[in-house]
Chains A and B, each alone.
Chain A
Amino acid sequence: MAELLQTTALSKTFGGLAAVSGVDLSVTEGEIHCLIGPNGAGKSTLFKLIIGTYPPTAGHIKFRGENVTEERPYQRVKRGMSIKMQTPSVFKELPVRQNLHIALQHHVTKAELAREEERLLTLLDLAADAAKPAGVLSHGQQQWLEIGMALALKPKLMLMDEPTAGMSPEETFRTGELIQQLNGLGMTILVVEHDMAFVRQIAQRVTVLHFGKVFARGSIKEILADERVAEIYLGKTHEHL
């Protein structure tokens, strides 16, 4: 199995704080990989290093066999990465449909554009709101829209930072189904999630981050059975896992 993404000794410090330190992470083509860890563990920072919004303090990032450490985010996106950030970032004053249009326009032919827009709107259950400015959608819907925009790029590797935050249990479950469906179509997915039920629903492999370092890795079963992992989630221990 080929490695799609590989980080080597990846580190990021903010002032004196090592938000990410010496992380070796590899994501295999075709898997759903979950990244978990307590608040402040460095998960979002790691994502930003992978997509390129932050330059790393040290280390390398390889994507599809190429060293992309020095590349700008748009270049990595063109290589096949796509991200849904932790805080929803959609074009708030633009209509929902135009949000999708902007995501689609550079790689979909004119003839297919309208069809793709419709397909995504239906998939995201936003067809009724297509003409509304994205800013008036509920938090959960904005998350969906952003996921839709990220998907519109037809990425090889999809990064999702807490895709279910602010969603109802029902929406969360549907998101899980969507992720599995996309994975079935061959998309590799790396997900940050707090909701362990959700992680159980989708994960194939799990990496646990703690204080910026890789704390444990393994299958979802192994991670759930790991006492140490339960401990670092102290306060929301066993009943949560």
Chain B
Amino acid sequence: MLRLVNGAQTVGNGWPFWMSFLAVLAGALVYPMFADSYDVGNFAYFLIWVFMAMGLCLMWGYCGMLSFGQTFFFGIAGYSYGVLAIVLGGGTMTVLALVLAVVLAGLSALVLGYFMIWGRVGGVFFGIVTLSATLVLAFFLGQTAGPEWAIGEARLNGFNGMKGMDPLNIPWFDDETLYFEGASLYYLAIALIVVVYLGLRILLNSRFGNVIVAIREDPQRAELLGYDVRKYQLITFIVGSSLAGLSGVLYTSWGQFITPGSIGLPAAAMPIVWVAFSGRGDITATLVGSFLILYAFQTITVYSQQAALVLMGGMLLATVMIAPQGFVIGIARTIGRLFRGRGAGNATSSNTGS
């Protein structure tokens, strides 16, 4: 099964790629030893969002479902984590809160996805319905300012957002508690990214991955080859949306607060920009590209939030007009060609996994 980290659905299959991967990973692991803790915390913050981007890449780039609902599931899980962490009493129960919150996001995706996919909501309408759900959730949470909007001790607090939940933590050696903040959150995010990234590569190069790209290309033909297309679409939607949920939990835990602002527009459009700009057709491009964009934007936002938003819009426009497949993937393909030109890479595209 591990062999499936390489295959037809992923760019970067030869040893030069995996050497670079290990080099970047090693760099990421030693980084906190050299950087100051403020920067490490910032990096952790960027890494948190990458799951949401990878989930969208899976659904949109590989299965052809453009979901505007990533922040919907981000919000479901982020708020659920907040409520559960408070209601369950915090402490190490936060780990359970994390798991349950992601499961809740997955269940919401199951329900929403079922109605859309079985109701034959396709193409543009898939985007419209998911966006509507997102806006409704943001609007709903925005009007929960009153004290009646509370679950146990957990107040939803309307636009001001909910706060007061414990960050993720686990028991540590010597009766200590390890709070996932700063460097430890950074390491947690790195570990989760490695697991999710490699897991998605395996999934994509497996039989399942072959079927979802077939569905992207021609759903009718895929069905006529004997695949229950709706089932594959639903599973893809659940996995992709749950990853947004994971981002939501980590986000809430990171800042110990979450507001409806992280669900509605313009937040809902961000994952689309990241993934489109990076290259929705490839998971590695999405991972690298999203991180770079988040990093760049943080830097710009420090000076002007408006400028950052305008730039984000400009980037989407540029992507659509200049490089519809995405910029990062374009650069990656060029590098790949250079390598192959020198005979170093793995030139065959015949490895289709199974």
Whether B225 is near chain A, meaning CB under 8 Å from some CB there, is yes
CB-based contact A90/B210 at 8 Å: no
Chain A: residues with Cβ within 8 Å of the partner, total of 32
Q: Which residues of B (213-235) have their CB < 8 Å from a CB of A? A: 213-214, 217-218, 220-229
Whether B239 is near chain A, meaning CB under 8 Å from some CB there, is no
The bracket for how many chain B residues form the interface is 20 to 34
Per-position binary interface string of chain A over residues 70-87, scored 1 when its CB falls under 8 Å from any chain B CB and 0 otherwise: 001110011000110100
Whether A180 is near chain B, meaning CB under 8 Å from some CB there, is no
CB-based contact B350/A94 at 8 Å: no
Bound form: Cα–Cα A149–B228 in Å:
17
A101-B210, A106-B207 as given contacts; A91 in contact with B221, CB under 8 Å? yes
Whether B273 is near chain A, meaning CB under 8 Å from some CB there, is no
Whether A95 is near chain B, meaning CB under 8 Å from some CB there, is yes
In angstroms, how far is the closest chain A Cβ from the Cβ of B71?
29
Q: Which residues of B (197-220) have their CB < 8 Å from a CB of A? A: 207, 210-211, 213-214, 217-218, 220
Whether B352 is near chain A, meaning CB under 8 Å from some CB there, is yes
Bound form: Cα–Cα A92–B221 in Å:
11
Cβ-defined partner of A103 (8 Å) among B213, B225, B354: B225
Per-position binary interface string of chain B over residues 316-354, scored 1 when its CB falls under 8 Å from any chain A CB and 0 otherwise: 000000000000000000000000000000001110101
Bound form: Cα–Cα A94–B218 in Å:
11
Q: Kindly list chain B residues whose C-beta atoms are within 8 Å of the C-beta of A137.
A: none
Whether B270 is near chain A, meaning CB under 8 Å from some CB there, is no
A91-B218, A95-B8, A113-B354 as given contacts; A102 in contact with B225, CB under 8 Å? yes
In angstroms, how far is the closest chain A Cβ from the Cβ of B8?
6
A74-B227, A74-B229 as given contacts; A105 in contact with B354, CB under 8 Å? yes
Q: Kindly list chain B residues whose C-beta atoms are within 8 Å of the C-beta of A78.
A: 226
A93-B217, A131-B349 as given contacts; A105 in contact with B207, CB under 8 Å? yes
In angstroms, how far is the closest chain A Cβ from the Cβ of B34?
43
Whether A33 is near chain B, meaning CB under 8 Å from some CB there, is no
Most buried by B among A93, A101, A130: A101
CB-based contact B226/A90 at 8 Å: no
A97-B350, A101-B352 as given contacts; A149 in contact with B217, CB under 8 Å? no
Whether A122 is near chain B, meaning CB under 8 Å from some CB there, is no
Cβ-defined partner of A89 (8 Å) among B210, B218, B228, B350: B218
Cβ-defined partner of B225 (8 Å) among A130, A131, A149: A149
Whether A110 is near chain B, meaning CB under 8 Å from some CB there, is yes
A74-B229, A90-B218, A94-B217 as given contacts; A83 in contact with B224, CB under 8 Å? yes
Bound form: Cα–Cα A113–B222 in Å:
18
Bound form: Cα–Cα A95–B211 in Å:
14
CB-based contact A77/B224 at 8 Å: yes
CB-based contact B8/A98 at 8 Å: yes
Bound form: Cα–Cα A90–B95 in Å:
46
Bound form: Cα–Cα A91–B100 in Å:
39
CB-based contact B350/A77 at 8 Å: no
Bound form: Cα–Cα A110–B353 in Å:
9
Q: Which residues of A (105-135) have their CB < 8 Å from a CB of B? A: 105-107, 110, 113, 130-131
Q: Kindly list chain B residues whose C-beta atoms are within 8 Å of the C-beta of A89.
A: 218, 220-221, 224
Residues of A within 8 A of B (CB): 51, 53, 72-74, 77-78, 82-83, 85, 89-95, 97-98, 101-103, 105-107, 110, 113, 130-131, 149-150, 153
Q: A77-B224, A101-B354 are in contact. List 14 more A-B contacts (CB 8 A).
A: A73-B223, A74-B223, A74-B224, A74-B228, A91-B214, A91-B217, A91-B218, A93-B217, A95-B350, A102-B210, A103-B225, A105-B207, A131-B349, A149-B221
Residues of B within 8 A of A (CB): 8, 207, 210-211, 213-214, 217-218, 220-229, 348-350, 352, 354
